[in-house]
Structure 1
Amino acid sequence: MPDLGRTLIFLGLLLVVVGGIVLGLNRLNLPVGRLPGDLNWRGRGWSVSFPIATSIVISVVLSLILWAVGRLRR
């Protein structure tokens, strides 16, 4: 059970860090979530967002970072 607690704390801290990065990118006026290919619908009292292009960009960047870390470990 202590492993579950540590995992939850780690995931919580990871979410805080990712949230801070997203807020920092928004302050730098980078178009996170507003790229061409990100879908947004707004109605009266509701909104739906599908950041498809942003997800692809983040995936490519993380893949490159993890690839570089893997190469450095060899």
Structure 2
Amino acid sequence: MNMGKLFIILGIMFVVIGVIWSLIGKLPGDITIKRENFTFHFPIMTSIVVSIILSLIFFIIGKFR
């Protein structure tokens, strides 16, 4: 597999992930604290999901090197 095809596949994966993410919005496990004039959002579950996805992508890229 050459680099061009790899970038096309990664681009398609990012588009699919972006569409799914925009439909889901906030994952269960994300922490949101709302006060009168203060909002704190800590996306812990989203961070874990993004970390897993990036780890898989880098693992796949490493296999083709």
1:30 correspondence with 2:30: no
Within 2, Cα distance between the matches of 1:27 and 1:63? 18
1:46 correspondence with 2:35: no
Q: How many residues align?
A: 49
Once the two structures are superposed, the pairs formed by residues 13-24 of structure 1 within 5 Å of their partners are none
Q: Report the counterpart of residue 62 of structure 1 in structure 2.
A: 54
Within 1, Cα distance between the matches of 2:21 and 2:48? 21
Q: Which runs of 4+ in 1 moved over 6 A?
A: none
CA shift at 1:26, angstroms?
7.8
Q: Percent identity?
A: 39
Q: 1:55 to 1:69 in 2, by over 3 A?
A: same
Long gaps (5+) in structure 1:
1-20
The structure with higher relative contact order (CA 8 Å, sep 6+) is: 2
Q: Deviations over 1:9-34 (max 9, x none)?
A: xxxxxxxxxxxx7xx54884232xx1
TM-score (norm 1): 0.57
Within 1, Cα distance between the matches of 2:33 and 2:50? 22
